[in-house]
Amino acid sequence: MIAFDAATFAYAGRPPVFDRFAWRAGAGERWAVLGPSGCGKSTLLLLLAGLLQPQTGAVAVGGATLSRPRPETGLILQEYGLLPWATLRANVTVGLRIRRFYGPDGRHAPAGAPLDRAAIAKRATYWLRRLDIEEVADRRPGEVSGGQRQRTAIARALIMQPDLLLMDEPFSALDAPTREDLQTLTLELSAEGRLTVVLVTHSIEEAAFVGQKVLLLSTPPNRLARIIDNPHPADAPYRRSPSYQAICAHLRQELEAL
């Protein structure tokens, strides 16, 4: 599903963040990306989103080398990225309405049958209910809680039916109960849709809960992909298990050794 092939990327005038970096992720896998501030976590996500391109080597998703964003990739940002003047319902459907404008050209939208307004409304209703925000769907982002805004951002991504979901510290600004609730919901939704998930986080506990595999990044340049396997059931009781405590301790030890 994901392939970094000897990818090198550097911002102008700076040393490389990634230097001939190689990494593979299979379809349907859940990954957490963990590391200290400035290690390149968000840069990795932007490369996967096709918003940045490596100077040498290649980044491929689904067997195709990325040269631009692909319509089958969903991106959820830390600050939600919602339109403040639009209702939650309008925010959820904005991507589909843009796709309807372009049509199923295979570039801006996946090839296939075009969506009409009724189909967009039906799909929006499903996701508003699934994310438990239908009752506030006609309010604007400034009129709802942070958790409801983040649920809107998740619905906006999933309504597009992506096969790859990229998440950049989406829960860091939320209180602990809301954060844990949305982490569990992410696991449920990724299992239902058989999504490949890449979650960037600063939190060891979040990485241990969400990630079946954890990619550790260190101070740049990153050359080797350090991977920690973390197979576990996608359910809330895992947080109370000894294996969860053990993987948290192991990740903390690995980070301290970087």
CATH at residue 217: 3.40.50.300
**pLDDT tens digits, residue range 5-40?**
999 999 998 999 999 999 999 999 999 999 999 999
Q: The pTM is what?
A: 0.92
Which H helix or E strand runs over 197?
A: strand 196-201
Give the bridge partners for 200, in sequence order. 33, 168
Of 135, 161, 187, the last residue of a domain is 161
Mean pLDDT, the chain, integer? 91
Quote the pLDDT of residue 103: 67
My answer on whether 151 and 228 are in the same domain is: no
CA distances from 114 to 87, 96, 99, 120, 258 (A): 24, 10, 8, 10, 49
My answer on whether 62 and 101 are in the same domain is: no
Of 161, 177, 198, the last residue of a domain is 161
My answer on whether 55 and 93 are in the same domain is: no
Return the structure tokens found at 119: 């189909």
Work out the angle between the directed axes of helices 146-158 and 117-130 (0-180°, nearest 10).
Answer: 140
My answer on whether 14 and 90 are in the same domain is: no
My answer on whether 170 and 65 are in the same domain is: yes
Flag whether 51 is in a domain. Answer: yes
My answer on whether 64 and 123 are in the same domain is: no
Flag whether 201 is in a domain. Answer: yes
Q: Tell me which DSSP letter residue 93 carries.
A: H
Q: How many residues does the chain have?
A: 258
Flag whether 44 is in a domain. Answer: yes
**pLDDT tens digits, residue range 182-223?**
999 988 988 888 999 999 999 999 999 999 999 999 999 999
Highest mean pLDDT out of 75-84, 108-117, 176-185, 195-204: 195-204
Q: Which domain holds residue 116?
A: 83-161
My answer on whether 167 and 157 are in the same domain is: no
Domains in the chain: how many in total? 2
Flag whether 78 is in a domain. Answer: no
My answer on whether 97 and 110 are in the same domain is: yes
My answer on whether 101 and 204 are in the same domain is: no
Of 110, 134, 161, the last residue of a domain is 161
My answer on whether 153 and 184 are in the same domain is: no
The three-state DSSP-derived secondary structure of 31-82 is: EEEECCCCCCHHHHHHHHCCCCCCCEEEEEECCEECCCCCCCEEEECCCCCC
